[in-house]
Structure 1
Amino acid sequence: MTVPPSPRRRTLLVAPLAAATACGTSSTEDPTRTTSPKSSAARTGPDRSRRVIRTQQGIATPQPAHVLLLSYDLSSPRPTVAAVRRVLSDWWARPTPEVTPTVATGPSLYRRLGLATPPRLKDLPSFPHDRLEAHLGGGDVLVQLCGRNASDCERAATRLTARAAGVLAERWQQSGFLPPHAAGETPRNLFGFKDGTENPSTDELARWVWHGDGSTYLVYRRIHMAVAAFDALPVTRQEQIIGRHRAGGAPLGGRREHDPVDLYAKSPQGRYDIPADAHVRLAHSRFDGGARMLRRGYSYDDGAGDQGLLFLAYMRDPALFVRVQERLAAADAMNAFIEHRASAVGHVLPAPPPGGSFGDQLR
């Protein structure tokens, strides 16, 4: 019997990278290899290497206004792989139409179950200036719930937790939102700057986000922002810290939001347009061989002066985040106004094939 596609699954027709289309395809080839003219010519005939992969939604799909992040730990003193698979399969089989769930497995889950850990899944190292609160980070299973309304996300979380009883227990949860913005416009963070301008385009996702099996990796950071202190700065100083103009999002020295960031442009006085300690300069993909991550951040406001950014980023290898964060922790001018207070990393499982069960990769 053919199983109809789940509404929470993206079905992608995959070809070699040189023939990837704009629908967010992935490739089984090494994404860093350059295709020679000879090999390109050989691919002009019928392509028999195209195959379907299935990815979870909530990554490259449009970003709704609200998010609720959940973390679970194994609750049984003698957990079994079969029990965890049953929970994940049950979650997948009973979708909530109003909410998009995205599920990732943390490195601790594999250790506790005695399974081989995915090759790129490692606990993140400590970074200078971190002030992590253990009870607000980590977890065996991570879930991102995205929806148009916060109440829909909360109801979905309640159902997931109830279905996991006896196997998974909630470790923490964190809600977030997008400040109001026009359709198609890059959202702004609580500092008032556009956040996500440098995301890879849809047709670049195969190279920088997806693996050939439809999996990817998630890095989460809960970043407290000293909003009042930053807002008190003159706008020109804010722009030097970020490396972009506040009003339109253009890089310093540029005119439009999506103008390329020119790290070498100088003023008539011989100063770099983008300062050496600007966030945009230190985070630039040039320092990582062009490798990029797909950021899907949300703001949070927990009251009592605790506001900030829920940094959510998807990438082929969390080592990319580690390299970027090491540069930022060492010299970013924005460090005076932010603190990383929670952290998590996870392997985002691919969606199952027709007739398959979600979580079958846990073996």
Structure 2
Amino acid sequence: MSGADGGGSPPTATRRRLLAGSAAGLAAGGGAGWWAGARGDATSTPTTPTTADPTSPAGASDDGAPVAARGRRQAGVDRPVRPPHHLSFVVLGEQGDAALGRTDVAALLAGLGEQVDVLTTSGDPRLPDMPGNLTVQVGVGAAWADLAEPGLGDRVRLPAFRGSDALAADLRGGDLVLAVAADDPALPDHVVDLLLADLPGLRVRWTQRAFRSPGTGAVVRNPLGFLDGIVQPEDAAAMDAGVWIRDGAATDGTIGVVRRFTLDGAAFARLGADEQAAVIGRRPDGTPLSGGAADADVDLTAKTPHGEYLVPADSHVRAAHPSFTGSALMARRSYAIRVDADGAAPRPGLLFCSFQDDVRVFARTQQRMDRVDRLMDFATPTAEIGFLVLPGFAPDRPLGSTLFGS
């Protein structure tokens, strides 16, 4: 999947950000996984990365310090600024025929929020090495979103994309999402186990362990060898314009999309260096085929003396460009995975994550990429979900209470 899409360019979107919008990375299923450039403090009042408040728990988190779970918005979207290197992503569904009601879901989410608060502070004896920059993001799928507010699920539910019809039902959608991230590679799985022990009545539908390379800031190299993370919403205004929900009971939440892909890295590796760059639209060092430095604008109008586009018509950069869909910038990032196959060498894969204020923001870009993005030929979807990342919580406002009551 990919680039930014939405109802229109955010007020703060500069030409550079829009033209670089799909620039460098592998798009999980066609889109690059760029991470947000905005950040927030413990109360989720965003600042830019260059003006991080050193007194804020979230501001200090880029060096591995704790990230406050409480606040106006949940951690894990715009804080910490640099996403932790390791992620355990879990999708759960209701078990059996007895569906949970609003009161049941409200109690489950409130208890989950209390546990997350304890785990992300330094006072939990089950984490003797301290939590580091642990974040636990909680979301609900379309059915629970409709349970909270009729029609809200329509802002969450994914349409079918290229390859979606081949997925088993358990690999599309779900009721509860946990995204547990930390720099300590042992921590996410341990925390997931602790959380699942207190979630009766739910079963795991699918899970994925994923990682990000060290990189520089938000920019990392993806499994195909190209840089990922060059362009993101740069400030609070851009995040407000296209990422955070600004109306109703879901205010200060956001819509998450996660798609998992197996990559045909061997086929991509067989391409020559110039052809690989043509598939992406940039070279491995990030420089655009239209010329300039790694962070230069991608000039979609630039042509050779023979009238051919320097950035090919079927390149990922062009296919995912927000100018074709009237898009606001989504906050995006991707994680590398390894796909094991019996009797065969492991294959590379990608877990792509994006955050936007409506699932249609994502869908329009992905559907365009399904039609024209050559990079999609090297990516096969294996699981996907759209979900509502719940608004933040506080001692007097339990997790999920604005939607389900307390």
Q: TM-score if structure 2 supplies the norm length?
A: 0.73
User: Does the 8 Å CA contact 1:67/1:144 hold for their aligned counterparts?
Assistant: yes
Does structure 2 retain, via aligned residues, the 8 Å contact 1:188–1:195? yes
Equivalent in 189, 194, 212 of residue 227 of structure 2: 194
| Partner in structure 2 of residue 31 of structure 1 | none
Within-5 A mapping of 1:50-199: 54-61=72-79, 62-75=82-95, 77-95=98-116, 96-97=119-120, 98=131, 99-111=134-146, 113=147, 115-118=149-152, 120-130=154-164, 131-166=166-201, 168-181=202-215, 183-184=216-217, 186-199=219-232
1:12 aligns with 2:44: yes
- Structure 1 CA distance for aligned equivalents of residues 99 and 378 of structure 2: 44
For these two proteins, the number of residue pairs brought into alignment is: 318
Residues 257 and 355 in structure 2, CA contact (< 8 A), matched pair in contact too: yes
Misfit runs of 4+, over 4 Å: none
Secondary structure in 2 matching 1:271: coil
Equivalent pair of 1:288/1:320 in contact (CA under 8 Å): no
Equivalent in the alignment of 1:325:
366
Distance in 2 (CA, whole Å) between partners of 1:296 and 1:284 is 16
Indicate conservation of the 8 Å contact 2:155/2:360, yes or no: no
Q: CA deviation at 1:122?
A: 3.9
Counterpart CA distance in 2 for 1:331 and 1:103 is 34
**Is the Cα–Cα contact under 8 Å of residues 265 and 347 in structure 2 kept in the other structure?**
no
Distance 2:231 2:265 in 1: 23
Aligned-residue identity in percent: 31
Match of 1:242 in 2: 280
Equivalent residues in 2 for 1:293-332, closer than 5 Å: 293-304=330-341, 305-332=346-373
Question: What is the CA distance between 1:60 and its match in structure 2?
Answer: 1.4
1:211 aligns with 2:232: no
Q: Which runs of 5+ in 2 are unaligned?
A: 1-39, 51-70, 121-130
312-321 or 345-354, which deviates more: 345-354
Shift of 1:269: 2.7
Once the 2 structures are TM-superposed, how far is the Cα of residue 293 of structure 1 from its aligned partner?
A: 0.9
Contact kept, 8 Å, 2:139 with 2:176, in 1: the verdict is: yes
Deviation at 1:243, TM superposition (A): 0.5
Q: Secondary structure at the match of 2:380?
A: strand
Secondary structure of the corresponding residue to residue 43 of structure 2: strand
Structure 1 residue 237 displacement after superposition: 0.2
Is the Cα–Cα contact under 8 Å of residues 55 and 351 in structure 1 kept in the other structure?
Answer: yes
How much does 1:170 deviate? 2.0
Note the C-alpha offset of 1:115: 4.7
1:339 to 349, 357, 380: 380
Match of 2:126? none
Per-residue CA distance 1:236-289 (angstroms, 9 max, x = gap): 10000001111x212211322221221101123321110000011010011222
- Structure 1: distance between partners of 2:145 and 2:220: 35
Aligned twin of 1:288: 325
- 2:192 alignment partner AA: A
The one-letter amino acid of 2:240's match is A
Secondary structure (helix, strand or coil) at the match of 2:293 reads coil
For the residues of structure 1 that align with 2:275 and 2:239, how far apart are their CA atoms? 34
Distance 1:280 1:115, change over 3 A: same
